[in-house]
Amino acid sequence: MNPCTLNQLGVTRETPWAVGHFNIHNQEFIRAVVRAAEAERSPAILAVGMMSVKYMGLEPLISACQSISRETSVPIAVHLDHARDIDIVREALELGINSVMFDGSSLDFEENVEKTTNVVEMAHDCGATAEGEIGIVPHGTESVSQAQMTNPALAIEFAERTGVDFLAVSLGSVHGMKSAAASLDQSLLQQLHEQIPVPLVLHGASGVIDEQISLAIEHGIRKINVNTGLKVVLKSFLSNRFKEDSESDLLQDLDLGMEAVSESVARRMRLFNSSNQA
């Protein structure tokens, strides 16, 4: 199938499931996600983040996502994650990406509205979808302060004025946690879901415990972003392998490591109730 937009994955504000957004960094990661999507009959998002663009380049990464998606029989979207620069959004859209996220969460409200609106127009002109963010999901080990969490009145105004297709909100998760320990403000989420007419997005999902993810889906989260957790699976697999047998074949180890990543993606698809939704 040709890769599609976020709106063509089957997930809506009303569905009782969420679609997984999995950050990919090279061809092996792309294949691991797609293999899990096929096995689970689940839609999926291949997300191209800024660190991976630095590592592999924007064009090679997008074109690998596009060509591998075309071999599949489940809906896959190729999505630019956390762009803070309009030029990279334009370049990705020219390369035919299906969806873009502009992260203006650290800007002041008016600047975030203005830049996100510009990105939404650019994306829609190309037939792509656009995600924006309101509230701050911090990085590293910081916890989330009340002031960083999404303010419902600002979120409603932001969604109306920008016309975003999906909206990322801050509910207590933190980017980059290596194990799951965070809980979410579920009542804030319920309030946002009631009042905002577009599907809501959870960033920093690697650090959120499973029970809280399930509740978040019940309360309105429809796109769940996972990055760190998958890198942790590969790194711990390879470091254990090296301890067990330092003479083993690297490519065989890498294959087994990517199988572990794929299983971790499949487990999340089941947790997100997206299995058998393709």
CB 25 to ligand 13P: min, Å: 12
Query: Of the two residues 35 and 82, which places its CB atom closer to ligand 13P in the complex?
Result: 82
CA distance 97 to 78: 6
Query: Of the two residues 50 and 126, which places its CB atom closer to ligand 13P in the complex?
Result: 50
Query: Of the two residues 231 and 241, which places its CB atom closer to ligand 13P in the complex?
Result: 231
Structure tokens at 67: 């060509």
CB 32 to ligand 13P: min, Å: 15
Q: How many CB atoms lie within 10 A of CB 102?
A: 29
Binding site for ligand 13P (CB under 6 A): 23, 81-82, 175-177, 203-207, 225-229
CB 263 to ligand 13P: min, Å: 17
Task: Based on the residue annotation, tell me whether 81 is a catalytic residue of this protein.
Answer: yes
Query: Of the two residues 139 and 270, which places its CB atom closer to ligand 13P in the complex?
Result: 139
CB 213 to ligand 13P: min, Å: 11
Active-site residue identified among 81, 103, 165, 185: 81
The residues annotated as belonging to the active site are: 81
